[in-house]
A and B are shown apart, each in its own frame.
Chain A
Amino acid sequence: MRRRRVAEQLLEVLMSSVNGNLVPPELGWELFGYFVEDELWRGKGFRVLLKACRICEPEKTRMALRGEFR
Chain B
Amino acid sequence: MAAVMVEKHGFDGLWVSEHFFNRNSFITLSTIARHTRRILLGPAVVNPYVYHPAQMAQAAATLWELAPHRVRMAIGAGDASALKQLGYAREKPVEKVLWAVEEMRNYFEKLETYRVWDVKVFVGAQGPRMLKASTKADGVLINWSNLEMLKESVRLLGDDVAKGFTRAAYLMTSIHDDAEKAWKTAVPYAAYLMIGSSPSYLNRIGVDEAHRKEVEELVITRNWDRLYQAARSEWVDFFSVWGKPEKLREFVDEVVDMGFDEVVFAGPLGPRYMKALKSIAKICRAVKRRAKP
Contacts and interface: CB of A to CB of B under 8 A. Distances in A.
Interface of A: 8, 11-12, 15-16, 31-32, 35-36, 70
Which among B5, B35, B273 has the highest number of chain A CB atoms within 10 Å?
B273
Contact of B272 (A16, A32, A35): A16
Contacts of B1: 15, 31-32, 35
B4 A16 contact: no
B273 A12 contact: yes
Interface residues of B, number: 10
Query: Which 5 A-B pairs give the minimum distances between C-beta atoms?
Result: A15-B273, A16-B273, A12-B274, A16-B272, A35-B1
A15 B271 CA distance: 10
Contacts of B275: 12
B210 interface: no
A11 to B, nearest CB: 7
A15 B4 contact: no
Interface string B1-14: 11011000000000
Chain B binding surface, main DSSP class: helix
Nearest to B1: A35
22 contacts: A8-B274, A11-B274, A12-B272, A12-B273, A12-B274, A12-B275, A15-B1, A15-B2, A15-B5, A15-B273, A15-B274, A16-B271, A16-B272, A16-B273, A16-B274, A31-B1, A32-B1, A35-B1, A35-B4, A36-B4, A36-B35, A70-B272
A31 B274 CA distance: 17
Chain A binding surface, main DSSP class: helix
Nearest to A29: B31
B84 to A, nearest CB: 24
Contacts of B35: 36
Interface string B255-293: 000000000000000011111000000000000000000
Contacts of A32: 1
B196 to A, nearest CB: 20
A35 B5 CA distance: 10
Interface in B1-54: 1-2, 4-5, 35
Nearest to B23: A21
A31 B2 CA distance: 13
Nearest to A14: B1
Contacts of B5: 15
A35 B216 CA distance: 38
Nearest to A28: B1
A12 B2 CA distance: 11
Contacts of A11: 274
A33 B271 CA distance: 25
